[in-house]
């Protein structure tokens, strides 16, 4: 004997099958259930174009299946014709807009997550995608044969937002919902900043509250580690402290004509990190990582640890190339400096052989001087001692930052072997607004990667470069700005080729320091910043 529940389930299933059959064969929908109305509605233009693309891609135009399953050519197909006629008619109809919707109380903000790629969970297509505001899943389209429409019938979920237009619809009814209570969802989908808000961002000391009741600081939110992507996370967190760069990407109008997906994904990630009305206290860089994988041709990818120094170099150069106008961009404005490079090369004709076979140089040396732009300066660490001290413990070598900065005093000689053996001298001729320093901590040979454990002693505030290296004379009516403050310090923990990265960053509004490692965010003391194996730093020029 069947229970009442089983009978009800069978009855609802037969109604659903009948409804699906009717929707696929008739341009006008007639449904017994009074809660599922009956007006036809116009779909987005994108959906119609995508529907036609899908049909052409799958070879449905002008074809049908014979009795034996073979595809046979056909000039007419009744079902296709009916749907085509319906498609042609729907564009002329207006979508009804309602302020009230009986299903708004089913919206569940706890499950909404807009940090992932905007693809349909069924078709995996990324055109005309809607998010179900009840369960959070993504579905393509809202026409009668669309995945969102089917989901609304099967699951009884009725409220959907178009992930591109931000319009909200009730399905399967088909009307648009205009209700201010949904604005917070639109703000999470696409965070917005006015220019006035951007200007005052660093003065804001207020904490924000996530839906789960936890507090977070806008701009200081954790980033998900999507399988060994900590090298990306520390780079992003560091660049978020560069005020002009951040402010540029918070206003999409600044790069609206740029066609680079990487630029737009970086902008979206920047706005999400600094947004004060997030539903969660963390952000996932998933969409940005997808753009990175594509733009770098999988040089940097999810699941493979990489070097943040290589990554930031690639990222800044790629963003500059995508944004540049007359070879200028926000990247060069923030980070570009200039070096005078003097290259000493011993001419081959000047090398003679002694009787014992050793080389003898007769003193003829050629010098080449050139001006070279830079976005980052590489500093060489002294080799660590080979022996232990009397207590049989390893000596932890230390070096002041000023010692290794002497590489750029114009007099110190650096030996290089590539592309040819030469002696190089470097001198800074133009200081950037933001100075990126990279400690060459890893060396590679034919067998393994070796890590130099030398600690670098550096000031967190008031790094005065002119006391240690000669600097260019400022132009008339200009002041030499040679004093810098640290704003980000990336460190590496663990063995070379393994290990992990974390970063210390400063919050300007209160001049507090925070340690960040993926989702971990904790306040720390300024003196703790210099007690680790620093790998890369960003200094801000004092104005």
Mean confidence (pLDDT) of the chain: 82
CA distance 366 to 360: 16
pLDDT tens, residue by residue, 54-76: 444 444 344 444 434 443 433 33
Token pair recorded at residue 227: 């399988």
pLDDT at 468: 85
Token pair recorded at residue 145: 């044969």
Peptide bond into 102 cis (omega under 30): no
Q: How far separated are the first and last CA of the chain, in Å rounded? A: 84
Query: What percent of the chain has a predicted confidence (pLDDT) above 90?
Result: 55
User: Is pLDDT above 80 for 234?
Assistant: yes
User: Is pLDDT above 90 for 205?
Assistant: no
User: Is pLDDT above 50 for 79?
Assistant: no
Averaged pLDDT for residues 279-292: 92
Token pair recorded at residue 150: 């089917």
Lowest mean pLDDT across 146-150, 271-275, 390-394, 417-421: 390-394
pLDDT band at 95 (very low <50, low <70, confident <90, very high): confident
3-state secondary structure 220-277: CCEECCCCCCHHHHHHHHHHCCCHHHHHHHHCHHHHCCCCCHHHHHHHHHHHHHHCCC
Q: Can you name the residues that pair with 129 across neighbouring β-strands?
A: 140
375 DSSP 8-state letter: S
Lowest mean pLDDT across 20-34, 157-171, 334-348: 20-34
pLDDT at 19: 47
Averaged pLDDT for residues 206-234: 91
User: Is pLDDT above 70 for 306?
Assistant: yes
Question: Is the fold of 97-187 the same as that of 190-323?
Answer: no
CA distance 536 to 437: 6
Lowest mean pLDDT across 14-28, 295-309, 430-444: 14-28
pLDDT at 510: 86
Q: Which residues neighbour 507 within 8 Å (Cβ) at sequence distance 6 or greater?
A: 217, 219, 220, 513, 514
Token pair recorded at residue 388: 């232990």
Are 334 and 432 in contact by the 8 Å Cβ rule? The answer is: yes
Are 532 and 501 in contact by the 8 Å Cβ rule? The answer is: no
CA distance 263 to 249: 9
* CATH number 3.30.40.10 given to 97-187: yes
User: Is pLDDT above 80 for 78?
Assistant: no
3-state secondary structure of 173: coil
pLDDT tens, residue by residue, 3-57: 555 555 555 555 555 544 444 443 333 333 333 333 334 444 444 444 444 444 4
CA distance 337 to 342: 17
Task: Kindly state the helix (H) or strand (E) to which residue 63 belongs, with its residue range.
Answer: strand 63-65
Q: Can you name the residues that pair with 428 across neighbouring β-strands?
A: 339
The residue ranges of DSSP E strands in 327-479, in sequence order, are 337-346, 351-353, 359-361, 365-374, 377-380, 398-400, 414-416, 422-430, 434-440, 442-444, 449-451, 455-457, 463-464
User: Is pLDDT above 60 for 111?
Assistant: yes
In the chain, what are the helix, strand and coil shares in percent, each to the nearest 5? 30, 25, 45
The DSSP code sequence of 95-111 is PPEES--TTGGG--GGG
pLDDT at 159: 95
Four-residue CA torsion sign, 147, 153, 157, 161: positive
pLDDT tens, residue by residue, 372-406: 999 999 999 998 877 666 655 667 789 999 999 99
pLDDT at 370: 93
Q: Which residues neighbour 471 within 8 Å (Cβ) at sequence distance 6 or greater?
A: 428, 431, 465, 480, 482
Averaged pLDDT for residues 318-333: 94
pLDDT tens, residue by residue, 457-484: 999 999 999 888 888 887 777 788 899 9
CA distances from 382 to 155, 379, 454, 516 (A): 65, 10, 8, 28
User: Is pLDDT above 80 for 503?
Assistant: yes
User: Is pLDDT above 50 for 293?
Assistant: yes
Enumerate the H helices of 284-379 as residue ranges. Answer: 286-295, 308-323, 330-335
Position with higher pLDDT, 11 vs 421:
421
Token pair recorded at residue 450: 């070796």
Position with higher pLDDT, 92 vs 517:
517
Task: Kindly state the helix (H) or strand (E) to which residue 86 belongs, with its residue range.
Answer: helix 78-90
pLDDT band at 540 (very low <50, low <70, confident <90, very high): very high
Q: Which residues neighbour 75 within 8 Å (Cβ) at sequence distance 6 or greater?
A: 62
Token pair recorded at residue 514: 């925070």
Count the Cβ atoms, other than its own, within 10 Å of residue 185.
19
pLDDT at 417: 80
420 DSSP 8-state letter: S
Residue-range domain boundaries for the chain: 97-187, 190-323
Q: In what order do the strands lie in the sheet with 365-374?
A: 365-374, 337-346, 422-430, 414-416
Instruction: Could you please state the CATH topology (level 3) that the domain comprising 190-323 is classified under.
Output: Cathepsin B; Chain A (3.90.70)
pLDDT band at 257 (very low <50, low <70, confident <90, very high): very high
């Amino acid at each position: 004997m069947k229970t009442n529940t089983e009978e009800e389930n069978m009855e609802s299933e037969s109604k659903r099958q009948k409804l699906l059959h009717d929707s696929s064969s008739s341009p006008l929908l007639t449904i017994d259930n009074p809660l599922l109305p009956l007006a036809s509605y116009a779909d987005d233009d994108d959906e119609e174009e995508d529907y036609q693309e899908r049909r052409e891609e799958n070879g449905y135009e002008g074809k049908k299946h014979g009795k034996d399953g073979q595809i046979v050519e056909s000039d007419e197909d009744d079902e296709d014709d009916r749907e085509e006629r319906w498609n042609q008619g729907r564009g002329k109809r207006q979508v009804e807009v309602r302020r009230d919707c009986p299903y708004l109380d089913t919206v569940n903000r706890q499950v909404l997550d807009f940090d992932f790629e905007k693809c349909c969970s069924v078709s995996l297509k990324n055109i005309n995608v809607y998010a179900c505001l009840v369960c959070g899943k993504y579905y393509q389209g809202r026409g009668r044969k669309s995945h969102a429409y089917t989901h609304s019938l099967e699951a009884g979920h009725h409220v959907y937002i178009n992930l591109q237009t931000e319009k909200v619809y009730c399905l399967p009814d088909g009307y648009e919902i205009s209700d201010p209570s949904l604005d917070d969802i639109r703000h999470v989908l696409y965070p917005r900043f006015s220019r006035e808000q951007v200007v005052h961002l660093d003065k804001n000391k207020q904490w924000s509250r996530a839906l789960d009741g936890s507090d977070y600081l806008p701009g200081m939110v954790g980033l998900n580690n999507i399988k060994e992507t900590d090298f990306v996370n520390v780079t992003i967190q560091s660049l978020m402290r560069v005020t002009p760069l951040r402010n540029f990407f918070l206003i999409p109008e600044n790069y609206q004509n740029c066609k680079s997906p990487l630029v737009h994904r970086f902008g979206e990630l920047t706005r999400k990190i600094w947004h004060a009305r997030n539903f969660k206290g963390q952000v996932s860089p998933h969409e940005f990582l997808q753009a990175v994988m594509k733009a770098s041709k999988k040089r940097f990818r999810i699941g493979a640890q990489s070097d943040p120094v290589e990554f930031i170099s690639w990222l800044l150069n790629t963003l500059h190339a995508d944004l540049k106008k007359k070879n200028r961009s926000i990247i060069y404005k923030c980070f570009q400096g200039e070096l005078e490079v003097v290259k000493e090369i011993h001419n081959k004709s000047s090398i003679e052989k002694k009787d014992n076979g050793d080389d003898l140089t007769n003193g003829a040396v050629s010098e080449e001087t050139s001006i070279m732009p830079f976005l980052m300066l590489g500093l060489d660490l002294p080799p660590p001692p080979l022996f232990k001290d009397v207590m049989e413990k390893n000596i932890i070598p230390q070096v002041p930052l000023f010692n290794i900065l002497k590489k750029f005093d114009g007099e110190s000689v650096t030996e290089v072997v590539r592309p040819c053996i030469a002696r190089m001298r470097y001198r800074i001729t133009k200081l950037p607004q933001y100075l990126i320093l990279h400690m060459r901590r890893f060396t590679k040979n034919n067998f393994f990667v070796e890590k130099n454990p030398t600690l670098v002693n550096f000031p967190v505030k008031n790094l005065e470069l002119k006391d240690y290296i000669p600097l260019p004379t400022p132009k008339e009516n200009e002041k030499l700005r040679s004093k810098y403050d640290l704003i980000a310090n990336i460190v590496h923990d663990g063995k070379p080729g393994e290990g992990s990265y974390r970063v210390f960053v400063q919050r300007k509004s209160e001049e507090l320091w925070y340690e960040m490692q993926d989702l971990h965010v904790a306040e720390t003391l300024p003196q703790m910043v210099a007690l680790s194996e620093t790998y890369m730093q960003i200094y801000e020029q004092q104005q």
